[in-house]
Every structure is written in C-alpha cells, then in structure tokens.
Amino acid sequence: MSDDRASLVPGTRAGRTQGDYAALAEFWTCFFGDRGPEVEAWATLARPYGRRVLAPMAAVGELAHGLARAGFEVVAVDRSAAMVREGRRRFPPDEALTWMRGDVRRLRRADMPFDFAFLANGDLHHFDGFEAQARVLASVAGALRPGGAVGLELFAPAGASWATPPRRFEPLRPPPGGARIWKDGATRFDAATLRLEIEQTLHVQRAGQRERHPHRLTLQLLERDALPALLERAGLRWLAEYGGYDLAPWAPGAATWIVLAEKA
Ligand SMILES: C[S@@+](CC[C@H](N)C(=O)[O-])C[C@H]1O[C@@H](n2cnc3c(N)ncnc32)[C@H](O)[C@@H]1O
C-alpha cells in the first residue's frame, strides 16, 4: 500500500503523480461532464461475462457506483486513502458496492475471481513503460476467472509532438460546499518518448481562503502495435477495439480508444 503523499518528490519517474490527491479528491468529479455513457459502455462490455466487476484505480468511484446501480457487484479499489474516503462518503458501500484501499499492482482478495475488470480514463498509462504496464495487467488478470475479461480505456498517441499553452479549466459541475474552483495548466506530448506531461493547479476559494494545489502527472502512452505483446505478457488475448462509448468500431483518429481482452 502506498501513502497518498508518497510521490510528492521532484523528479519521480513517468507514471507517478506528483501532487496531493487529498485536495483533488474533494473536487474530482467537478471537472467531468456526464459519465452516463461511460457507465453504459462498461456495463455493456461486462454483461456477457457476469456480475462481479473489479474497478481498480477507481478514484472516488463514480463509474464503480454507476455499475453497481446497473446491477453489478462491484469492488472499487484505489491506492489513495483520500480518494477512498471521499468515495465512501459520496457512494456509501452497500451489497452492490465494496470499497478497498489497495495497489492495482498487487491485487489480493479472498473471494476472487472477478468476471470483468476495467481500467478507465487512461489509467494504465500511469505506469512507466512496457514491463510496468504488463505487471499491472497481469495483476488485474490474476483477479479474473479464466475466460473473464478486462476493458482498457487508452489514450492513442499522436504522430507528432504537441503542446498546449497554459489555459484555464472551469468546473463542469458545481463544486460542493459553495466553493469557487478552477484549474489552470498546460499539457505537452513528446512523440519520441510517447510521454504526456500534464501540469495543473487546482485553485479553491472558500470561506475567504484561497488554496492552490499543484499537480503534475506523466502518462506513458503506448503504440497500438505494442498492445498484443503487452496483453499476451499478462495472459490476456486481444478481443475487440472500440472508438467511442457507443462502442462503435475503432478507426484511426477516433476520440476514444477502448480495448477488450480476455483471460486466456
Ligand atoms: C485518473 S485517476 C482515475 C480515474 C478513474 N478511473 C475514473 O475514471 O474516474 C487515477 C487514480 O488511480 C489511483 N492510483 C494511482 N496509482 C495507483 C495504484 N498503483 N494502485 C491503485 N490506484 C492507483 C489514484 O489514486 C487515482 O485515484
């Protein structure tokens, strides 16, 4: 298990978050729009496999909760105590939703195996390189029954490097407690290393106080060609690829990239 603030260290490797999830957790959902289509997509992919769903790297568990309400038995796991605390507060555990604090690289659970697991929102890219990502997938695959499946939402790398100038992001949902919040920051992608560097600061104004919460994240994207070998290393077989939450087939330039793989 890792502590929330363990990675507040300059120079941490790709895939590590430098920032304070304790601050981000409270306002995590404010910067997302309607996540209903995501819930529907994961539910559609999970349904043929069964009801027991694992949601590692669940953050505050909005997708996990959506799937629990859609009829699945969901276990939401996150390494951050702050995320799990905030998730339990918003989406209290019940017979359909269980919360656990844990590391996706070392999944253990007595009543495994699960029928389906999903890593949403580019979560696999938090890990640095082929071997680290293969270990995460192997850990997730280890939690599945034979013939169970994993869904991955990945970020497709652009063919050329790019950078956005610093910009401001307003919340898409009203923040709790009457706070005024916004984020600012910049993003850059290096096509040579396939690394996406995100630097943002969350600003919070409430009760006459101003807070600033800087947050830096490096995501390691991967080439599409590398995916079969990555899945194979983890004991998974590539089954299908989708280009949107409507589960339309993937095509170059698709805004979303969802991969479905089965445990061999
Ligand atoms: C981008 S957020 C997840 C978003 C979430 N999947 C969603 O779609 O709402 C990444 C999350 O992964 C968690 N995390 C990072 N490393 C982890 C690890 N090794 N094991 C479990 N959770 C981890 C962080 O605490 C954070 O909540």
Q: What is the pLDDT of residue 13?
A: 36
Please tell me the residue having the least CA distance from ligand 1 atom 19: 103
Whether residue 83 lies inside any domain: the answer is: yes
CA–CA gap between residue 58 and residue 118 (Å, rounded): 9
Judgement on whether residues 80 and 138 belong to the same structural domain of the protein: yes
Judgement on whether residues 97 and 135 belong to the same structural domain of the protein: yes
CA–CA gap between residue 53 and residue 150 (Å, rounded): 10
Judgement on whether residues 149 and 252 belong to the same structural domain of the protein: yes
Q: Is 55 in the pocket of ligand 1 (CB under 6 A)?
A: no
* pLDDT tens for the chain, residues 1 to 264: 333 322 222 222 334 454 556 778 999 999 999 999 999 999 999 999 999 999 999 999 999 999 999 999 999 999 999 999 999 999 999 999 999 999 999 997 655 699 999 999 999 999 999 999 999 999 999 999 999 999 999 999 999 999 999 999 999 999 988 899 999 999 999 999 999 999 999 999 999 999 999 989 999 999 999 999 999 999 999 999 999 999 999 999 898 999 999 998
Q: Is 121 in the pocket of ligand 1 (CB under 6 A)?
A: yes
Judgement on whether residues 202 and 89 belong to the same structural domain of the protein: no
Judgement on whether residues 69 and 22 belong to the same structural domain of the protein: yes
Please tell me the residue having the least CA distance from ligand 1 atom 13: 57
Whether residue 73 lies inside any domain: the answer is: yes
SS3 178: helix
Judgement on whether residues 137 and 36 belong to the same structural domain of the protein: yes
SS3 244: coil
Judgement on whether residues 208 and 226 belong to the same structural domain of the protein: no
Judgement on whether residues 215 and 243 belong to the same structural domain of the protein: no
Sign of the torsion formed by the C-alpha atoms of 102, 242, 224 and 163:
negative
Whether residue 26 lies inside any domain: the answer is: yes
Which contiguous run of DSSP H or E holds residue 130? helix 129-142
Q: What is the pLDDT of residue 1?
A: 33
Whether residue 11 lies inside any domain: the answer is: no
Judgement on whether residues 94 and 51 belong to the same structural domain of the protein: yes
Q: For the domain that residue 166 is a member of, what is the CATH number?
A: 2.20.25
The minimum-distance atom of ligand 1 relative to the CA of 61 is 9
Terminal CA-to-CA distance of the chain, rounded, Å? 28
Judgement on whether residues 188 and 231 belong to the same structural domain of the protein: no
Check if the beta carbon of residue 153 is closer than 8 Å to that of residue 130.
no
CA–CA gap between residue 151 and residue 240 (Å, rounded): 10
C-alpha angle 104/109/111, rounded to 5°? Answer: 140
Q: Is 16 in the pocket of ligand 1 (CB under 6 A)?
A: no
Output the CA torsion 5→60→97→177 (10° steps): 120
Best residue among 123, 135, 256 to mutate for probing ligand 1's pocket (most ligand atoms within 8 Å of CB) is: 123
* Two structure tokens written together for 211: 């807070």
The minimum-distance atom of ligand 1 relative to the CA of 80 is 25
- The predicted model scores a pTM of 0.92
Judgement on whether residues 180 and 244 belong to the same structural domain of the protein: no
Domains identified in the chain, total number: 2
Whether residue 12 lies inside any domain: the answer is: no
CA 147 to chain centroid, in Å, comes to 23
Q: What is the pLDDT of residue 7?
A: 25
Which contiguous run of DSSP H or E holds residue 56? strand 52-56
Q: What is the pLDDT of residue 111?
A: 58
Whether residue 8 lies inside any domain: the answer is: no
Whether residue 37 lies inside any domain: the answer is: yes
Q: For the domain that residue 68 is a member of, what is the CATH number?
A: 3.40.50.150
Judgement on whether residues 122 and 197 belong to the same structural domain of the protein: no
The residue segments making up the domain with residue 210 are: 162-219
Scored b (16 or more CB within 10 A) or e, 132-170 reads bbbbbbebbbebbeeebbbbbbbbbbeeeeeeeeeeeee
Q: How far is the CA of 200 from the centre of ligand 1 (A)?
A: 17
Whether residue 147 lies inside any domain: the answer is: yes
